[in-house]
A and B are shown apart, each in its own frame.
Chain A
Amino acid sequence: MDGLDLLKGHWNKNDDFPKIDKEQIKHMLHKSSSSILKWIFLISVIELAVGILLSCTITIEKEHHSSLYTIFYVAFEVLFYIVVLYFMYRFFSSYRNIKNTINTKLLLENILNTRKHVNNYIKFNIYCIIFQFSLVSIEKIIQEVQRKPAGEAILFSMFMVVFVSLFCWLFLLVVRFYYKLLYRRLVHKLDHNYEELIKIEE
């Protein structure tokens, strides 16, 4: 006798489970879900908010700037918000598309896709912050070069370059660590199951 056939016989006969009554089911309906999707969604909403807050706090200081710099900065700012809006649209539409009633492969694909949008958004935010930071420091260097004698200016620019790259490197390190900690744990199971489904098809 095949092992599974023995199991099948037992499986169909043995369904003596603890009965859960209507009240208990009703109670469950009003409890909150702890699904992976909910966590991904919650975390990304927080990240979205933090991203927007960050971009609000880093604004042009009220110092005098060259007009070229101001134009450049405003253009950058406008572009930034357009891209953020695009991401928000993509993110929410793909989140809405996730339905538990479709087949497993599509469901996994959709969740991982949503995750990818969030990921891209974060990457975009990080690069923007680094870009803004570099922009401000370049402006500072130019100002110093114009004001101070050559020797001092070179020293200052060298110091700035080292400081900025050190900061960017540290920043990336922290962010990467955060992702490893948070998302890899969440999405690991999904990735694994999705890969298995793909493998079956090969």
Chain B
Amino acid sequence: MRIIFKICYLLVTSSAYLRLISHMTKNLEIDFVNLLENNQNILHKICRLYAEDLEAHKDLFQEMVIQLWHSYPKFKGESKFSTWAYRVALNTAISLYRTKKRRVATVELDQSLQNIHYEEYNEVQEEQLRFLYAAVRKLSDIEKALVYMYLEDKDYQEIAETLGISEVNARVKMNRIKTKLKTMLNQQGGI
């Protein structure tokens, strides 16, 4: 008799625990989805540099969301969500994401530059911008990460921390990328 009681007690308490855990994860999920919805442009911007076409953009976006969700329990709120998110997302693009070979590599440039508008720019500038986006895409994964952080106005200390290199070297590398892009632009006859 006692054993039956004990088993019943265990069942009740464990189901209560399970409910508590599922409730907590539900809450976690709601928090996460809210935060991500408000910060989704971070991911889109990274995709804009790393993904070749719309299909790859969606793919990478999804992989970033999954990776973010997996590491979310470790997010302790010491930094801003946006700071944490862009780091995890960049790391996903650099190390975890598998670029799939696509059948046709001849996607039109305009289609691949997802939703980029140039209304306020004159023709020359528009041409330069198109060229710049294409040139940045041709850079290596690491260089793209540096460019992304530069465009997002991150300071060199943060860039160095994110990549795990020294601040001086981050600065040197960034200057080299700038020169590289400038030469590419000049060769194209842009400036």
Contact = CB atoms under 8 A, between A and B. Distances in A.
Interface of A: 1-4, 6-8, 10-22, 25-26, 28-29, 31-37, 39, 99-108, 111, 186, 189-190, 192-193, 196-197, 200-201
A39 B65 CA distance: 18
Contacts of A186: 98
Interface residues of B, number: 69
B132 A101 contact: no
Nearest to A23: B33
Contacts of A20: 37, 40, 61
Contacts of A196: 140-142
A21 B169 contact: no
Contacts of B182: 2-3
Nearest to A194: B95
Interface of B: 29, 32-34, 36-37, 40-41, 44-45, 61-63, 65-67, 69-71, 74-75, 84, 87-88, 90-92, 94-99, 114-118, 120-121, 125, 128-129, 132-133, 136, 140-142, 145, 147, 150-151, 161-166, 169-170, 172-173, 178, 181-182, 185, 190-191
Given A17-B115, A200-B173, A105 B141 contact: no
B163 A33 contact: no
> Binding site of B, secondary structure by majority: helix, strand, loop or mixed?
helix
A2 B129 CA distance: 12
Give the most central of A17, A26, A107: most B CB within 10 Å. A17
A32 B67 CA distance: 10
A141 B41 CA distance: 71
